């Protein structure tokens, strides 16, 4: 039975990847952080009682900033495959906490690779690095491929650039089977609430049920190539099953703006929007509503505004990936469209919003705010 170790198992991708690998028959080990509240909501449904003999899902406390902890876990598990998904993954937050972001995202990767070397696992353990389209930043070529030059635009992207190159370097220097997946944005109902797609689907759902009045966003012109996390974790595994390690761009090859994603989400929730104004004065007004779906929304209401607090010191305006290499060499094609993904996210958030509205109607306090 193959053993996999996933850092960031409690995150969006980690949870889908753990499910995927368990279905493939792997023994899956994940690193979770100690927190004052439970942080395992995304993997609770695959939890297995550690007391039973054939349990195949194990969680270990750990942190990418702690070398001795990583070495101990690697020694205990001796994994066939390591998926390094753990990261301070929020671009805007990386401007607020640049040093911590570098420690986790850049040095954390080095610590894991060093653990492989220190334990003599170079020939046994294959290593997947969660690289990112943010490496392209100020894009030099459209669409972006494996050979497009990098120009990172945030402390997050700069840290991930170190991680990208240290994985390449350990492959070249020590023969470690290390791959970079250069993944473009991918989302799902499990996406963190402060990333823009989830902030939108959750905000629109809350507005449709009367829990919030207005959604505040930053740059609505930003263009992204959005795919579904389920499609992308499949590719993470496929990358480690090749004879020789290589780096791959994973994307859909289509892009839409943040504004278009707002419209799409609103439509899913029964709300037709019209955008007017420019820059910080841009707003979205309700022009039609299906009151069976969105009982709390009135025609004429302004439900989306721009808040410059969400602008970034340096922005990545446009990203569009070319997944041709992944299609040709691995036969990978994304199966879920952005429209299907948006519908799934809105449906999931509307269900939660209805439950919260019910609780609120019965006098319970519900927290809906999200930054």
Interacting residues toward ligand NDP by CB under 6 A: 7-8, 10-14, 31, 33, 35, 39, 63-65, 85-89, 104, 130, 132, 183, 185-186, 192
Contact 138, 151 (CB under 8 A): yes
Distance of CA 108 to the CA centre of its chain: 18
Among 226, 181, 224, smallest CA distance to 330 is for 181
Contact 239, 179 (CB under 8 A): yes
Please report which helix (H) or strand (E) contains residue 340, including its range.
Answer: helix 338-361
For residue 11, the minimal CB distance to ligand NDP (Å) is 2
**Backbone phi, psi, residue 138, to 5°:** -80, 95
- Which residues, other chains included, contact 64 with Cβ-Cβ below 8 Å and sequence gap of 6+? 7, 31, 70, 86, 87, 103, 104, 107, 108, 109, 111, 112
For residue 316, the minimal CB distance to ligand GDR (Å) is 6
Per this entry, what is the length of the chain?
A: 371
For residue 257, the minimal CB distance to ligand GDR (Å) is 9
* Interaction partner, residue 315 (ligand GDR, ligand NDP, none; CB < 5-8 Å by kind): ligand GDR
* Interaction partner, residue 312 (ligand GDR, ligand NDP, none; CB < 5-8 Å by kind): ligand GDR
Comparison of 11 and 270: residue with beta carbon closer to ligand GDR: 11
Name the residue whose CB lies closest to ligand NDP. 11
Distance of CA 74 to the CA centre of its chain: 24
Comparison of 222 and 338: residue with beta carbon closer to ligand GDR: 222
Contact 150, 135 (CB under 8 A): yes
Active site residues: 132, 134, 156
Contact 71, 132 (CB under 8 A): no
Give the residues lining the site for ligand GDR (CB under 6 A).
89, 91-92, 132-134, 184-185, 194-196, 199, 217-219, 222, 224, 258, 310, 312, 315-316
Distance of alpha carbon 110 from alpha carbon 116, whole angstroms: 10
For residue 18, the minimal CB distance to ligand GDR (Å) is 18
For residue 186, the minimal CB distance to ligand GDR (Å) is 8
Comparison of 39 and 351: residue with beta carbon closer to ligand NDP: 39
Contact 238, 329 (CB under 8 A): no
* Interaction partner, residue 222 (ligand GDR, ligand NDP, none; CB < 5-8 Å by kind): ligand GDR
For residue 273, the minimal CB distance to ligand GDR (Å) is 16
* Interaction partner, residue 39 (ligand GDR, ligand NDP, none; CB < 5-8 Å by kind): ligand NDP
Comparison of 66 and 290: residue with beta carbon closer to ligand NDP: 66
Comparison of 108 and 270: residue with beta carbon closer to ligand NDP: 108
Omega before residue 143 within 30° of 0, cis: yes
Comparison of 191 and 356: residue with beta carbon closer to ligand NDP: 191
Distance of alpha carbon 264 from alpha carbon 201, whole angstroms: 9
């Amino acid at each position: 039975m193959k053993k996999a170790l996933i850092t960031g198992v409690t995150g969006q991708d980690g949870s889908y990847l753990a499910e995927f690998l368990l279905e493939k028959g792997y023994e899956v080990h994940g690193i979770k952080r100690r927190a004052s509240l439970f942080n395992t909501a995304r993997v609770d449904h695959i939890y297995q009682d550690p007391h039973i003999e054939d349990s195949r899902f194990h969680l270990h406390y750990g942190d990418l900033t702690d070398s001795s902890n990583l070495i101990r876990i690697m020694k205990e598990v001796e994994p066939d495959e390591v998926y390094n998904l753990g990261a301070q993954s929020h671009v805007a937050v990386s401007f607020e906490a640049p040093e911590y972001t570098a420690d986790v995202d850049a040095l954390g990767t080095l610590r894991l690779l060093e653990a492989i070397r220190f334990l003599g696992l170079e020939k046994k353990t294959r290593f997947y690095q969660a690289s990112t389209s943010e490496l392209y930043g100020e894009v030099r070529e459209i669409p972006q491929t494996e050979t497009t030059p990098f120009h990172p635009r945030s402390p997050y992207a700069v840290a991930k650039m170190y991680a990208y190159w240290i994985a390449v370097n350990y492959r070249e220097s020590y023969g470690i089977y290390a791959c970079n997946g250069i993944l473009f944005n991918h989302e799902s109902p499990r996406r963190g609430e402060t990333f823009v797609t989830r902030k939108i689907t959750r905000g629109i759902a809350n507005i449709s049920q009367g829990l919030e009045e207005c959604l505040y966003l930053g740059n609505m012109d930003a263009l992204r190539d959005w795919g579904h996390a389920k499609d992308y974790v499949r590719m993470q595994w496929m990358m480690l099953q090749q004879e020789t390690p290589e780096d791959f761009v994973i994307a859909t090859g289509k892009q839409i703006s943040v504004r278009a994603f707002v419209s799409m989400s609103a439509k899913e929730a029964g709300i037709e929007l019209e955008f007017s104004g420019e820059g910080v004065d841009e707003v979205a007004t309700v022009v039609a509503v299906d009151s069976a779906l969105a009982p709390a929304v009135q025609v004429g209401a302004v439900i989306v505004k721009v808040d410059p607090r969400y602008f970034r010191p340096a922005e990545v305006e446009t990203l569009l990936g070319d997944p041709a290499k992944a299609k040709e060499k691995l036969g990978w094609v994304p199966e879920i469209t952005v429209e299907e993904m948006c519908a799934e996210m809105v449906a999931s958030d509307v269900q939660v919003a209805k439950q919260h509205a019910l609780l609120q109607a019965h006098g319970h306090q519900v927290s809906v705010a999200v930054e």
